[in-house]
């Protein structure tokens, strides 16, 4: 499947698209109404371009049909649900048939095999096992490909490290921010050299190439970016190969579009919102689902030879994009700059506020590395100025840097909160 000709892949996609649209139209009242309103029915889907005639689906549509309104199969065929909590209102619920669980496990196994995980590996999954899809989703993938699953879940960092050491864990999956914290703690305890890790699979939140280098150097591993969302099974939607140059999106299971803020297709190579159509999901097919994630497609072929196109590392969320004094700022740009400055540690928090005369103020709290403290106040203010200037040249907007001691910004085992927007808009 990974090496088939593009034309063969497109034939398969069209077959699967027709099937998905037919099932959505016939079994999900929401889609039936949406398509009727646009005067379209499944018989009019005869090419992949016809996708653009279909309505898009938003996260709000899942909420409005809470909990099971978008299911295309009767409840007795659904063998599992997951849910993700948003910042407002009810969580969004997703469902899986037995076949969906198999498809998802296969996709995860495909990802792990791609980065060189084998049956001999001992694979620690240090994320929440619950409604979050990163727990059971990754777990089933590990079992599917035959490595040894270590379902350590979240919390108790010291114990996580003890298990890692005692079991001789070779592959780690968690969020990149938790991985950085694990590395920091292992270093502080002087056990990092005793670990046998060789591969890290990190995802569920944006991270940068600098964070990757940091993780690769401190753990002595190869670190890969993993992307997914509950609405499209969960993790396993797109994953880096050993080239580490973009994430292969599995086009035999998902149709990819990159749309601008008006909902029009972006030019090739232009960044926009990733919009996905599921091609194999049974319990909850989603048509033109607006992920809110900003990226672009790398159109050139990958050296690994896989046919699936690659997505550039995620730039941020369409709704996370900060507009500060009219300028678009992505937290990932800030992270890139901060991590390129040797004295700065791995943790930061961006605070946007609107104070005097209604002007936006961007302040960034950053942690210093222990060794960066010289004891001289003058050195600190020089560093502060250097960071502010570097950020200004990249973001085109002034920010205020607050230097903090290591450990000042709260650590979390789940997704970290990098932006606090205090503006009352």
C-beta closer to ligand DLL: residue 106 or 293: 293
C-beta closer to ligand DLL: residue 135 or 345: 135
**In this structure, are residues 79 and 101 in contact, taking their beta carbons and an 8 Å threshold?**
yes
The distance of closest approach from Cβ of residue 352 to ligand DLL in the complex, given in angstroms and rounded to an integer, is 19
Q: Which residue has the tokens 């020089």?
A: 382
The distance of closest approach from Cβ of residue 245 to ligand DLL in the complex, given in angstroms and rounded to an integer, is 15
C-beta closer to ligand DLL: residue 22 or 151: 151
The distance of closest approach from Cβ of residue 95 to ligand DLL in the complex, given in angstroms and rounded to an integer, is 14
Site residues, ligand DLL (CB under 6 A)? 84, 132-134, 203-206, 225-230, 234-235, 291, 293, 314, 317
Residue 129 token pair? 């096992």
C-beta closer to ligand DLL: residue 205 or 361: 205
DSSP-assigned states of every residue in 110-155: HHHHHTT--TT-EEEE-S--SSSHHHHHHHHHHHHHTPEEE---SS
Residue 295 token pair? 């990226």
C-beta closer to ligand DLL: residue 91 or 116: 91
β-bridge partners, 96: 80
Determine the number of helices (DSSP H) and then strands (DSSP E) in the chain.
10, 21
Q: How far apart are the C-alpha atoms of 78 and 59, rounded to whole Å?
A: 21
The distance of closest approach from Cβ of residue 235 to ligand DLL in the complex, given in angstroms and rounded to an integer, is 4
The distance of closest approach from Cβ of residue 317 to ligand DLL in the complex, given in angstroms and rounded to an integer, is 5
Q: How far apart are the C-alpha atoms of 390 and 337, rounded to whole Å?
A: 7
- Helix, strand, coil % (nearest 5) of the chain? 35, 25, 40
Angle at 95 between CA 94 and CA 96, to 5 degrees: 135
Q: How far is CA 111 from CA 161, 201, 390, in A?
A: 25, 10, 37
Nearest to 81 by CA among 101, 71, 96, 59: 96
The distance of closest approach from Cβ of residue 414 to ligand DLL in the complex, given in angstroms and rounded to an integer, is 9
The distance of closest approach from Cβ of residue 174 to ligand DLL in the complex, given in angstroms and rounded to an integer, is 9
The distance of closest approach from Cβ of residue 209 to ligand DLL in the complex, given in angstroms and rounded to an integer, is 12
C-beta closer to ligand DLL: residue 317 or 390: 317
C-beta closer to ligand DLL: residue 45 or 56: 56
C-beta closer to ligand DLL: residue 84 or 340: 84
Q: How far apart are the C-alpha atoms of 231 and 315, rounded to whole Å?
A: 20
C-beta closer to ligand DLL: residue 320 or 360: 320
Nearest to 200 by CA among 111, 128, 137: 111
The distance of closest approach from Cβ of residue 6 to ligand DLL in the complex, given in angstroms and rounded to an integer, is 25
Sign of the Cα pseudo-torsion (396, 399, 403, 407, in order): negative
C-beta closer to ligand DLL: residue 13 or 295: 295
What phi, psi does 420 have (nearest 5°)?
Answer: -120, 115
The distance of closest approach from Cβ of residue 172 to ligand DLL in the complex, given in angstroms and rounded to an integer, is 12
| Residue 395 host element (H or E) | helix 377-395
Nearest to 212 by CA among 176, 185, 170, 255: 176
């Amino acid at each position: 499947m990974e090496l088939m000709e593009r034309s063969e892949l497109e034939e398969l996609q069209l077959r699967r698209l027709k099937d998905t649209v037919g099932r959505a139209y016939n079994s999900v009242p929401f889609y039936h109404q949406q398509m009727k309103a646009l005067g379209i029915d499944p018989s009019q889907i005869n090419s992949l371009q016809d996708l653009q005639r279909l309505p898009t689906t938003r996260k709000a549509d899942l909420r409005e049909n809470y909990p099971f309104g978008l299911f295309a199969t009767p409840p007795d065929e659904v063998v599992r649900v997951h849910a993700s909590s948003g910042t407002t209102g009810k969580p969004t619920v997703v469902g899986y048939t037995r076949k969906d669980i198999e498809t998802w496990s296969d996709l995860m196994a495909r990802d792990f095999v791609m980065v060189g995980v084998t049956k001999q590996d001992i694979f620690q999954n240090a994320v929440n096992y619950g409604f979050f899809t990163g727990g059971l989703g990754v777990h089933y993938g590990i079992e599917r490909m035959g490595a040894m699953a270590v379902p350590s879940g979240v919390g108790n960092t010291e114990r996580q490290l003890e298990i890692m050491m005692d079991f001789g864990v070779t592959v780690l999956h968690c969020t990149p921010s938790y991985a950085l914290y694990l590395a920091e703690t292992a270093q502080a305890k002087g056990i990092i050299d005793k670990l046998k890790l060789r591969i890290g699979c990190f995802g569920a939140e944006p991270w940068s190439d600098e964070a990757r280098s940091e993780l690769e150097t401190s753990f002595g591993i190869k670190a890969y970016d993993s992307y997914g969302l509950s609405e499209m099974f969960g993790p396993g939607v797109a994953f880096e190969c050993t080239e580490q140059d973009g994430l292969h999106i599995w086009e035999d299971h998902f149709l990819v579009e990159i749309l601008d803020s008006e909902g029009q297709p972006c030019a090739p190579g232009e960044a926009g919102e990733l919009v996905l159509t599921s091609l194999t999901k049974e319990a909850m097919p989603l048509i033109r689902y607006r992920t809110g994630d900003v990226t672009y497609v790398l159109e050139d072929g990958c050296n690994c030879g896989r046919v699936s196109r690659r997505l550039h590392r995620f730039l941020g969320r369409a709704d996370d994009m900060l507009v500060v004094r009219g300028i678009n700022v992505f937290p990932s740009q800030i992270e890139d700059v901060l991590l390129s400055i040797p004295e700065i540690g791995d943790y930061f928090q961006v605070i946007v506020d609107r104070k005097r005369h209604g002007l936006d103020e961007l302040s960034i709290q950053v942690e210093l590395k222990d060794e960066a403290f010289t004891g001289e106040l003058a050195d600190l203010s020089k560093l502060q100025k250097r960071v502010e200037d570097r950020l200004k040249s990249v973001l085109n907007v002034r920010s205020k840097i607050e230097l903090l001691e290591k450990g000042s910004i709260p650590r979390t085992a789940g997704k970290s909160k990098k932006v606090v927007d205090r503006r009352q808009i």
